[in-house]
Amino acid sequence: MSTGFAGKTAVLTGAGSGFGLECARLGAKLGMQLVLADVQQDALDLAVAEVQAAGAQVLGLRVDVSQAAQVEALGAATLKRFGAPHLVFNNAGVGSGGLIWENTVQDWEWVLGVNVMGVAHGVRVFTPMMLAAAAADPQWRGHIVNTASMAGLVNPPNMGVYNASKHAVLSLSETLYQDLALVTDQIHASVLCPYFVPTGIALSHRNRPTEPALRGARPSKSQMVAHAMLNKAVDSGKVSAAQVAQKVFDAVASGQFYIFSHPEALAAVQTRMEDIVQARNPADPFAGRPELGVELKKALRA
């Protein structure tokens, strides 16, 4: 979508905080029409009010992206209000940790429901209407951005469910890029792979569905350790969500597929790829910072 953003329409999920909110703010500055979706109503209301005050035309809808019908309703509302969107940012996501065998069925269903099926629903709902718009106008351009993670390229221990979900998003996005190239030159795709950036994802449990069977249930030791370490790592992040939002818009403008918040973290990705190609056992994930590995082992073995 290299022809500029003014007057174009963007759909952003997870728009109440983090990357979604910062992309909404940037979209408003660039003169875009915005469709903001979030599962947390109060955060969504604040985001809608802010970008409206900045002069943007806005449609805000509370959406649980894990629910197909709700994403379908988001698509129908977008089409009715603004027509086919030029930019779709499938960004809503949740974080979860703990030793992989300690994750419950509900943990798996929640994380995969939001992180994987949320992206899948966005792709399934919005791509056909974007293709229709492209077929009707040779000048029309569109772009889909999916939020994965560096955890989609490496496998940090004690984060298994999250890792699995983000690997799925990366695979889905790479396939989307290739599939779009088969049928059109007017719509492109990107995948965002952030590292530790303060976004609020460490607080995502606040929006977890409260199943009756889980009321009063305590997280396992490994889950509490993972949560504490994630909070510490995210809070110490030196790259802001606003800086990542700018990287997203720059990538859309230039047609760049992979978007990295911390390119220096790619050394670990290279090590993993070499492990695979050379059939080596997985490398020590804490080779660069052994004190973190000592700390994690001590906490889990105590």
Please report, in tens digits, the pLDDT of each residue of the chain (302 residues total). Answer: 545 999 999 999 999 999 999 999 999 999 999 999 999 999 999 999 999 999 999 999 999 999 999 999 999 999 999 999 999 999 999 998 999 999 999 999 999 999 999 999 999 999 999 999 999 999 999 999 999 999 999 999 999 999 999 999 999 999 999 999 999 999 999 999 999 766 555 455 555 665 544 444 678 888 888 877 776 666 666 789 999 999 999 999 999 999 999 999 999 999 999 999 999 999 999 998 899 899 999 999 98
Tokens for 20? Answer: 């979604």
Which residues have a Cβ under 8 Å from the Cβ of 293 and sit 6 or more positions away? 284, 285, 286
Which residues form the catalytic set?
162
**Spatial contact of 154 and 285, defined as CB atoms under 8 Å apart:** yes
Structural domains of the chain ordered from first start? 9-301 (3.40.50.720)
